[in-house]
Every structure is written in structure tokens, then in C-alpha cells.
Structure 1
Amino acid sequence: MWKGRFSQETDRKVQAFSQSLDLDWRLARWDIRGSLAHAEMLAKQDLISQEELEAIRSGFQEIMDEIERGDFIPDESLEDVHMNLEHRLTEKIGDAGARLHTGRSRNDQVGTTMRLYVKDVLCQVKSGMIDLMDALLNRAESHRETIVPGYTHLQQAQPVSMGHLWMAYFQSFSRDLKRLEFAMDEADECPLGCGALAGSTLPLDREYTAEALGFSRLCENSMDGVGQRDYIFDALSFSTMFAVHCSRMAEDLIIYSSAEFGWLKLPDAFCTGSSMMPQKKNPDVLELVRGRTGQMIGHLVDILATLKGLPMTYDRDLQEDKRGLFSSFDVLSHVLGVLPSLVRAIEVDADRAAESFADGLALATDVAEYLVTRGVPFREAHHRVGSLVGWCVREERSLFDLTLEDFEDFLGDVDENLLSLVDLEAAVARRDTLGGTGFRQVSRQIERGRDLLSRLS
């Protein structure tokens, strides 16, 4: 394509080094879509004839058929998907194919193709996220009244509704949805017509192509339009935070399903065994969700490092923007392909969870707050209950088994109401502050979650 300027053939090593077909061949249908809209605009502006437009349309249809059949083998010497498609089109229809690139640079062509691709993939990801969040809502409804230990510092803290824990993950993903929608909006600008960097002397109708391709707006500055990759950063930023939230959830599920905790049961279909130890049930799927998150973080840092020192406008460094993006999108596809079904199949062993509370100490805060209602300053109440807890630990006594006299020895003046509060179900139900783990509050969270998904679907 540039032989008019050069007196030497491109070295084969350079061809191998600079080609991007190993990455961008997946973009073929989006590139064709952008090219067809560009051709329609050229015909509208009388820059090509209607006959040439029809030849371009039929030529691209034949090329798409070849791609789908696997008959189109791209040529590495043509560098990328864009030049391979144009070359094949010209082979098929002659001069009409050579006119396609009128008023267009690969810079704005690549940007348009990539934005179309990103928008479509993120739309699919959004559908997968809604499915995952629906699975979490279903689990929350099923386990609203199931009581499990809640942890801080991975030490047993207070009893919570398992539905409340499921909704905690739901809330994380609902924030990720906002990040996803922001990334989708940032990709929704059309750079076609920006040219190499300065626009074109030809009478291009940028508004026509943007509307034909489903973009809501145009890139306002041609230099920025071909030189920026903010939308890729935004897609990777969303992807990374979502992966981190998936990883944290996976870590919890792995821990709670271990023999030492044992109150969560993973489905056999999403686990594997050991090649040596017959008894093993390994949470491999969740471990891979956790493990692949590191790749996502790396790709986010990669794009930032690539962008930080680039001069305006286009630089060949930007060819590398795809490597991390495609890898991250592939991970998202795989994660969303397994997580919703896995979550829907998880079971909770309520009896085993109840055994975790055998010493009753998870209700120590309830006892302290009971004293507060009787006029004791919280710091003093905390000290008294702490002394009681220390005694229970030393004497191997459970808070559930203490008499009113036992409580009085450490807490002072108490009444029979205290004994009714030392109860797991009562402890959870009474945490009825907005957003708390009380059963009524969990139902409210689920209802609001359903409203959110109904608006998104």
C-alpha cells in the first residue's frame, strides 16, 4: 500500500514483527460493517457510483461467506485484518475496491472497527452480568432466613442472614454495572472521517456514517479521535474491578466450603478431583476465577503504561492496545459462562453453620447493646462484656448456657429480657437498621435488586 514512497521491499522479519493478524482477525465482521457504512456515505456524496457501491456490497458478502466457511486465509504480508479485507475485495471487484479507502485512513478505520467491537462485546457482557446478578437474587431469596457466621479479619464476628451475604455480592456487581454502562457510553463515539489526524478535503458526511453505524455522537476533534484510547482503558477498568469482585466472592466460597468451615456446599459439576487422593473435591472453577483476575489487573496497567508517554496523534504503539483488551474480554466471557450456573447450584448447610456458633460469643455485641439500652455508656458496656467473654473462654462456657446470675456477676443489673436476646434468630432479626442483615431488610434489598434488573432487562 505504500510502495510508491519506498524503494525497498519490507523485510520479512519486519513483516513478522509488525503484523497484527494473530490479534485482529477476530475484528473482520466489524471492519466490514464500518467499511459498508463508509461506502454508502461515499455513494451518497457522489464520491463513488451506485454501481461501485453495489459491487462493494456484493463483494463483502462473498468475503463474509468465505470467512464463515474458513476459506479466507489472511496474508501476513498485508499486516492486519483491514488491509487483508480491502485487498481481497479489490481482487474480487477491481477498481471499486480500490476506491473504498477514499477519505479514510487506517487510523480512523481501526478506531471505528474497535469501537463497534467494544460496544457489542460489552453489550454481551452486560447480559451475562444481569444473569449472574439474577442468580444471586435467587440465592438470597432461598437463604434469606438461613443464619451463617459473618466475619471481619476472617474471625467470626456476628451472625448474618446468608441472603444478606449474597446481596453484598449483588451490590458490588451493581456498581460494576454502572462502570460497564460508562464504558459503553465512552465507546459510543464515531471517529470515522477523522482521517489520519486532520480530517479530509473531501465532502464527507460524518453524521451519516455515525448514524448508520449506531453511534450516538461523533468524535469532536480529529486528532483526539484517532490518538486516544480512553474507551479501551474504561473497558479494562470496568473489567478489572468486576474481576476483582468475582475473585473476592470466589475466595469466600472456597473458604466456606472447606472442611474447616463446611457450611457451604459447592456443586460437584463445578469441581474436580485429585489424580492421587480419592477423597478430594477441589474448587477449581472458583480458583481459576480468582487466578485469572491477576491477568486482568496486568492488562489494565499495560494500557496505562502504553498511553502515558505517547505524542499526539497516532503511534504504532497503539496496535498493542488490542492484546490485553481481547484477553480480558475472553476471560470475562469464560467467567460469565460458568459463575451464574455455579451460584444457582450452591447449597448451604444451616445445621453446620449453626454449629459454628456453639460458644455463643458472636452475640457479645448484642449483650453490650442491651446494656446501652439500660443506660450504660457503650465503652463501659464493652468492657463489662469483654470481661464476661474472657471468663467464658477460660472456663469453656457458652454464652447460650449462662444463667441470669452468671450475667449479673459481670454485667451488673440485668433482667430476664437479656436471656431472650441471646438467640441467633433474634439477633439477626433485630438488626433492622436500613441496609442491615435483619430478615425484613434483606427482603427489601432483594426487592430493590429485582427492580434494578427489571429496568435493565
Structure 2
Amino acid sequence: MWKGRFAQETAAAVSAFTQSLDLDWRLASSDIEGSRGHVAMLAQVGLLGADEACRIDGALAEIDGEIASGLLKPKEELEDVHMNVEARLIEKLGPLGAKLHMGRSRNDQVATTMRLFLRGEYGRLSLELKGLLTALLDRAEADRLVVITGYTHLQQAQPVSLGHYWMAHFEAFRRDVTRLEAARAAIDESPLGAGALAGSTLPLDRAFSARELGFSRPTRNSLDSVAQRDYLLDYHHFATVFALHASRLAEDLILYASQEFGWLLLPDAYCTGSSMMPQKKNPDVLELIRGKTGQVAGHLVDLVISLKGLPSTYNRDLQEDKRGLWASIATVESVLSLLPDLLNHIAVDEERAARAFEDGLLLATDVAEHLVERGVPFREAHEKTGRLVRRCLEEKRALNSFSLEEWRSLLPEAGEDLPERLNAVDAVRLRRTFGGTAFDRVAEAIGEGRRFLSEGWPL
């Protein structure tokens, strides 16, 4: 369809090398949707008669059905999905079918098609993210009163509500929803009518076609319309950060389910065994979630490097922007298909979790803050408590094992209520600062999370 100025046929090796059907055939339905919007606009401005537009639109709908049923197979010599659809239209309608492409180029066509395709993908990803957030809220509600060890530097730090822990991951994935919303907003412009790069001499109504296809507005600059792939970078940014959050959750669960931690029990259905060691229960699903994160981040870097060296405007390099996109979407969707159910079937060994509090050392901060409440400067309170911790380690004694008389001799500033409040449950209950781990604060956070999911889900 473009060989008018060429004296030689394209070499077979070149056709095989340059074809993009392995990448873009899945876009067929979206491509046809964009073409039908284009036809409606051509009729609106008088470039097509009403009967002509009706016949083309009907034929495009038939082609969509042929592709969906597998009846229409793409031809590699036609290079891509756009040319295959147009060739089939011409087969059906003859010269009338050849009118479809007036006022557009494959450059603005593919940019429009990609946005239409991603609109559907983002809708699915949004619902799957909602499922993950719901699973985390359910876990937080079920485990709100369970006390576990919180860690910094992978060292035992302070007691926290397990519900508070789940809500920490809820907040991370909630931010991913915001990033997905931003990616969705970035595709809410129609490039259709930008042409190859400079627009068209034909009286196209770009605002009409934008409305017809469900976009808020047409893109503002024809050069930028066919050149920019910022909207794909926005997707890859969402996907990379989501994958990082999923990887961190997976790493936590792998650790907490190990014999050395042991207070979290993974469901058998999401683990595998060893071909040699009968006792093994391996967290393979979580390890693969962690392992796939590098691939998702790599697809972001792949696109960044491709874009870095391109001049304005369209270049054939951009054909390759889909390869990493499809792989990334597939990975993100596979993770989202597994995580919610895995979370729903995790069990917690509360007795094993409580063993971490037996020496009382996780309550050292509570001792220091008790002294602060009694008027002791924090640095002084920190030093005194630190010396007491050292004594406990040397004597192999629990920090919360001292009697009131011993406390008075060790820390004269200590109040009578100190011994009775030195337990993990009170340590959690008293941390009532906004966003803290106190049980009632966790309940508030869960309630707010439920409202977020129920009141006008973002996408």
C-alpha cells in the first residue's frame, strides 16, 4: 500500500525483520474501534457520504468478528495489524474501502490504537488491584489484635499489631492505584488526525473523533502526538513500583515463614516440595514474584534507552515499544491473580510469635518513654535504659522481670505503673499517635480503607 515510489520489491528477509504482527495483532479490535471513530468523523465533515460511512462501518464490524473467531489470519507481507485490516476492508468493499485511510497515517493510528487498548487493560488492572487491597484489609481486620515483632535492619525492634503490618502493605499498593490513575489520565487524549507528523490539509474534526472514541480531548501538537511515548513510561513506572512493593511483601512472607522466624504459615497450595528432601516446603510462588521484579523494571529501562537516542518525530524503533509492554502487563496480571488468594489462606502461629517478647528487650523504648513522661530528658532516658539492657544481656534476664523495688533501685524516676505496662499488648495499645500501631488506630485505618474501596473506585 506504500510501494508507489519503489522500483524493487521488498526483500523477504526485510519483510520478516520489519513485520510487527507478532506484537500488534492483539490490537486488532482496538485498531478497528479507532477506525470506526475515524469513519464517523469523515462522515461528519462530509468527506464520506452517509451511505459510504455506513457500509465501511458495517464491514469493519464484520472484520472484527472474523478476527475474534479466528477466521481472518494476518498476512506477514502486509507488515502489521493496520495494513491487514485495511486490506481486508478493500477486499470487501473495493475502492470504497480504500477511502478509510484519508486524513490519517499509521503514526497517529497506532498511537490512538494503543491508547484504546490500554484503556481496557487499565480497567482490568484496576479491578485486580482492588482485589488485592480487599484481601489486605480482610487480613488486617482478622489479625488486628495479633501482636508480632516489628523489624528495622531485620533486627527485632518493637511490638506491632499484625493488622498494622498488613495495612502498611495496603498503603503501598494504594499508592500504586494512584500511579495507575496517572497512567490512565495520560492516555485520555486522541492523537487521531495528527497524521504522519504535521496534521492534514483535509477538514478533519479532531475534537469530534476524540469524543466519538471516548477521549476527553485531542492531543495539542501533531509532532508530539506521533513521537511521544510518555504514556507508556507512565505505565512502566506504575508497574515497576508495584513489582517492587510485591517483591517486598513476598520477601517478608518468605522470611516470616522460615523455621528461624516460624510464626507465619504459608498455604500448601502455594508452595512446592523438593525432589530430594521430603521435609521441604518451598515458597516458590513468592520467590518467583520476587524474581520477576527485575524483569518488570528491565522493561522500563528498555523503553527509556530506546527513547533516549531518538530524534523527532516518529521512528521505526517505536515499533518495539510493545514487546516489553506486553511482557510487563502479563507479569503484573499474573502476580495480581495469585497474591489475594495466597494472602487469604495464610495462617499465623500466635504462640510462636509471642516468643519474641519473652526477654522483654523489645519493650526498651517503652521504658525510655516512661522516663520521659516522668520528666527525664530523652537522651538521658535512652542512656539509662541502654545500660539496663546491657545488664539484662549480661545476666541473661528479661527486661520485664524486675519487681517494683528493683525498678526503683535501678531507675529511681520510674513510676509504680511501669512493671505492669511492660508487656507487648500494652506496648501496642499505647502507641496511639496518628498512623501508629495501636489497635484502635488500626481499626480506624481499616475503616478508612474500606471507604476508599467503596466510594467511587478510581478507575
Shorter-chain TM band: over 0.9
- Give the letter for the 2:205 counterpart: D
| Aligned equivalents of 1:372, 1:331: Cα separation in 2 | 50
> Matched residues in 1 for 2:60 and 2:282: separation?
49
Name the residue aligned to 2:146.
Answer: 146
Counterpart residue identity of residue 47, structure 1: L
Aligned partner of 1:14 in structure 2 is 14
Structure 2: distance between partners of 1:176 and 1:133: 11
Tell me what 1:282 maps to.
282
Q: Which residue in 1 is equivalent to 2:427?
A: 427
TM superposition shift of 1:384: 1.2
| Alignment partners' CA distance in 2, 1:301 and 1:163 | 36
**Counterpart residue number, 1:61:** 61
Residues 3-402 of structure 1 correspond to what in structure 2 (within 5 A)?
Answer: 3-402=3-402
The C-alpha deviation readout for 1:266-299, integer Å capped at 9, x for no partner, is 1122222222222222111111111111111111
Would you say the 8 A contact 2:371–2:413 is kept in 1?
no
- Look up the equivalent residue of 1:296 and give its one-letter code: V
CA offset at residue 409 of structure 1?
4.3
Match of 1:438 in 2: 438
Shift of 1:18: 1.0
**In 2: Cα distance, 1:4 partner to 1:162 partner:** 69
CA contact (8 A) 1:42 1:48 kept: yes
Q: Identify unmatched segments of 5+ residues in structure 1.
A: none
Any idea what the Cα deviations from partners look like across 1:121-151, whole Å, max 9, x if unmatched?
Answer: 1121111111111111111111110000000
Moved more, 10-19 or 404-413: 404-413
Q: Secondary structure at the match of 2:455?
A: helix
Q: 1:14-69, CA deviations, whole angstroms, 9 ceiling, x for partnerless residues?
A: 11111111111111100010011111111222212333323322322332222222
**Identity within the alignment, %:** 58
TM norm structure 2: 0.97
TM-score, normalised with respect to structure 1: 0.97
Please give the alpha-carbon distance, in whole angstroms, between the structure 1 residues aligned to 2:406 and 2:13.
84
One-letter amino acid matched to 2:84? N
Equivalent-residue separation in structure 2 for 1:350 and 1:456 (angstroms): 37
1:393 and 1:70 mapped to 2: Cα distance? 72
The alpha carbon displacement at 1:157 in A equals: 0.1
SS at match of 1:94: helix
Mean Cα deviation higher: 48-57 or 36-45 = 48-57
Q: Shift of residue 265 of structure 1?
A: 1.4
What is the alpha-carbon distance in structure 1 between the residues aligned to residue 207 and residue 76 of structure 2?
34
SS of 1:201's equivalent?
coil
SS of alignment partner, residue 4 of structure 1: helix
The AA in structure 2 aligned to 1:351 is E
Partners of 1:116 and 1:303 lie apart in 2 by 20
Distance in 2, Cα, partners of 1:126 & 1:5 = 47
Deviation at 1:445, TM superposition (A): 0.7
Distance 2:33 2:364 in 1: 64
Give the letter aligned to residue 348 of structure 2: V
- Secondary structure, counterpart of 1:318 in structure 2: helix
SS at match of 1:416: coil
Bigger Cα displacement from structure 2, 447-456 vs 56-65:
56-65
**After alignment, is 362-371 or 388-397 more displaced?**
388-397
Give the total of aligned pairs.
457
Q: Distance in 1 between the 2:409 and 2:303 partners?
A: 63
Counterpart of 2:94, as a letter, is G
Deviations 1:310-331 (A, max 9, x none): 1111111111111111111111
Question: Which contiguous aligned blocks of 4+ residues in structure 1 show a shift greater than 4 angstroms?
Answer: none
Answer with 135-144 or 84-93: which moved more.
84-93
Matched AA of 2:418: L
State the distance in 2 between where 1:340 and 1:414 align.
46
Task: Work out the CA distance in 1 between the residues paired with 2:410 and 2:78.
Answer: 83
